[in-house]
Amino acid sequence: MRYISTRGQAPSLTFEEAMLSGLARDGGLYVPETIPQMSAGDIRALHGLSYEETAFRVMRPFVGDGFTDEVFADLIAKAYAGFGHGARAPLVQLAPGHFLLELFHGPTLAFKDFAMQLIGQLFQEALERRGERVTIVGATSGDTGSAAIEAFKGLENVDVFILFPHGRVSEVQRRQMTTPAEANVHALALDGHFDDCQGRLKDMFNHFEFRDSVRLAGVNSINWARVLAQVVYYFSAAVSLGAPDRKVSFTVPTGNFGDIFAGYIAKKMGLPIDRLVVATNQNDILHRCLSSGDYKTSEVHPSISPSMDIQVSSNFERALFDAYGRDGAAVAQLMDELKAGGFKVSQGALEALREHFDSGRVSEEATLDTIRTAHSTMGELLCPHSAVGVRVGEAQRQADTPMITLATAHPAKFPDAVEKASGIRPPLPNRMADLYERPERVTRVQNDLAALETLIQERIAK
Ligand SMILES: *Cc1c(COP(=O)(O)O)cnc(C)c1O
């Protein structure tokens, strides 16, 4: 299995190389050259398997021979051992024909743990075998940073530095980043916005001398290994509702298009998925694009579902690559136009996207209203991101096909919005109830590239 770039100009890589490098050298994203298929018989054989066994069968053909079967199975077992629910991704019923896939039972209470916990294990194994060390630097508006720290803390061949905007993440998110005591974890509170954090991160990747000297690696959602880990729960959920003998649809609260793109890969592998519905908050570039073909950036409007407050949806490039018949030059051209503010998707490509994807947008008021009514009529306390999904999933559900909406975070991660809507302040799960008592460790940093690079070099030299 080889991986190719969406812009057609970078060399093809193995799974392991694509995972360790993250972004392709031509600026593109890696995708598998061909999509492995699962027959109806293969899917039927998943009935009754544990989440870990399902994960092994779904991901194995993508991973190649860098990892043996035994090692790969062992890494999957370690990745999910710390989850607070035996089913890992339990499915609960909300209404007739509408189900909620709870993806928030991992160590940091958001779906990002599914991918991050696994790639922590895969990185460690690959680096140990190669006798290499890397420095992971990430920028976060909250959930990615805590998931990365939780996954990489204590691993021997990795230092992890996370830049977050000082004073602009929720208290739970901050404490999840600042309370791990392991020496290879470095939480950096930057004086600036999330865009400044992301900007300095990009500057480091473009500063090749620094990048090579610290062996910089990236684990944001453009890393193919993260998409792959998310394909698994589309299979486990659909199989619990009768796949391959019954079709299902999914609604996915979407920001960077990583999670929903994993659903598209599941469908391409042979899972009978009818519709994949993109649910956005008021930052609705994807909804506008799927409706009109215009992909135009505007300002980010901060919302109560902050993990979806983005204006450039990086994984959408992977969907465009397929919609344009895997023409890397056409994708490179669109991405050039994006730098100048936006592009128009061709009629043919828009039709190709609409064959799989629908979309909907939810206002702030409707999000709060959904948290309130889901609690009173469906018995479920939703986080604001999941509420955006449930609102759209309920509106787009069709009578003959079950709708599965992805619940992307635990309500206790966003207690203020949930309390405002429902009057209930959701408590943290028992296993992290002492989060507010643990000592914090954080370094305040200026929005200054040279100072950041010096700090990172000094820390890893110790
Ligand atoms: C990251 C995140 C999302 C958006 O996921 P994408 O893969 O970027 O589309 C939605 N909800 C929560 C809680 C998140 O942390």
What is residue 398's DSSP assignment? B
Whether 202 sits among the annotated catalytic residues: the reply is no
If DSSP codes are grouped into helix, strand and coil, which group holds residue 95?
Answer: strand
Residue 154 lies in a domain: no
Supply the pLDDT for residue 219: 85
Residue 16 lies in a domain: no
* Average pLDDT by stretches of 10, the chain with 462 residues: 95 94 84 98 98 98 94 98 97 97 97 96 95 93 90 95 91 94 97 86 87 89 93 98 98 96 98 98 96 92 89 91 98 94 97 98 98 96 98 96 98 94 94 92 97 97 78
Count of domains for the chain: 1
Instruction: Report d(CA 414, CA 152) in Å as an integer.
Output: 24
Instruction: Report d(CA 271, CA 384) in Å as an integer.
Output: 29
**Residue 139 pairs with which residues in a beta bridge?**
163
Instruction: Report d(CA 54, CA 362) in Å as an integer.
Output: 33
Cα–chain center distance at 335: 21
Instruction: Report d(CA 19, CA 229) in Å as an integer.
Output: 12
| Contact by Cβ (8 Å): 10, 23 | no
Task: Return all residues near 7 (Cβ < 8 A) that are at least 6 apart.
Answer: 24, 26, 27, 28, 328, 329, 331, 332, 335
User: Does residue 224's CB lie within 6 angstroms of at least one atom of ligand 1?
Assistant: no
In the reported structure, the alpha carbon of residue 395 is separated from the centroid of ligand 1 by a whole-number distance in angstroms of: 21
Asked if the bond preceding 439 is cis, omega within 30° of 0, the reply is no
| Contact by Cβ (8 Å): 24, 127 | no
Calculate the CA dihedral of residues 105, 106, 111, 114 and round it to 10 degrees: -130
User: Does residue 385's CB lie within 6 angstroms of at least one atom of ligand 1?
Assistant: yes
Q: Which of 408, 410, 414, 418 to mutate to test the pocket of ligand 1 (most atoms within 8 A of CB)?
A: 408
User: Does residue 393's CB lie within 6 angstroms of at least one atom of ligand 1?
Assistant: no
Instruction: Report d(CA 120, CA 177) in Å as an integer.
Output: 16
In the reported structure, the alpha carbon of residue 457 is separated from the centroid of ligand 1 by a whole-number distance in angstroms of: 31
For the CA of 257, the closest atom of ligand 1 is 9
User: Does residue 189's CB lie within 6 angstroms of at least one atom of ligand 1?
Assistant: no
Instruction: Report d(CA 24, CA 28) in Å as an integer.
Output: 5
How many other CB atoms are found less than 10 A from the CB of residue 180? 20
Residue 413 lies in a domain: yes
* Domain containing residue 326: CATH number: 3.40.50.1100
Instruction: Report d(CA 77, CA 88) in Å as an integer.
Output: 11
**Tokens in use for 229?**
């880990």
Supply the pLDDT for residue 168: 83
Task: Return all residues near 313 (Cβ < 8 A) that are at least 6 apart.
Answer: 254, 255, 256, 257, 285, 286
Give the type of residue at 376. S
Structural domain of 294: 91-106+224-422
User: Does residue 221's CB lie within 6 angstroms of at least one atom of ligand 1?
Assistant: yes
Supply the pLDDT for residue 431: 86
Give the ranges where 340-398 is alpha helix by DSSP (H). Answer: 347-354, 364-378, 384-396
Q: What are phi and psi of 26, to 5 degrees?
A: -90, 10
For the CA of 383, the closest atom of ligand 1 is 13
In the reported structure, the alpha carbon of residue 407 is separated from the centroid of ligand 1 by a whole-number distance in angstroms of: 10
Nearest CA to ligand 1 atom 14: 307
User: Does residue 31's CB lie within 6 angstroms of at least one atom of ligand 1?
Assistant: no
Instruction: Report d(CA 278, CA 122) in Å as an integer.
Output: 29
User: Does residue 112's CB lie within 6 angstroms of at least one atom of ligand 1?
Assistant: yes
Give the type of residue at 97. G
Residue 47 lies in a domain: no
Biggest distance spanned by C-alpha atoms of the chain: 61
**Tokens in use for 340?**
């100048």
Residue 316 lies in a domain: yes
Task: Return all residues near 15 (Cβ < 8 A) that are at least 6 apart.
Answer: 1, 3, 62, 63, 64, 66, 224, 225
Instruction: Report d(CA 417, CA 439) in Å as an integer.
Output: 26
Residue 453 lies in a domain: no
Residue 318 lies in a domain: yes
User: Does residue 230's CB lie within 6 angstroms of at least one atom of ligand 1?
Assistant: no
Place of tokens 């077992």: 77
Instruction: Report d(CA 267, CA 154) in Å as an integer.
Output: 36
What is residue 230's DSSP assignment? H
What is residue 382's DSSP assignment? -
Q: Which of 108, 143, 289 to mutate to test the pocket of ligand 1 (most atoms within 8 A of CB)?
A: 143
Residue 347 lies in a domain: yes
Given 78, 112, 153, 296, which residue is catalytic? 112
User: Does residue 316's CB lie within 6 angstroms of at least one atom of ligand 1?
Assistant: no
In the reported structure, the alpha carbon of residue 408 is separated from the centroid of ligand 1 by a whole-number distance in angstroms of: 7
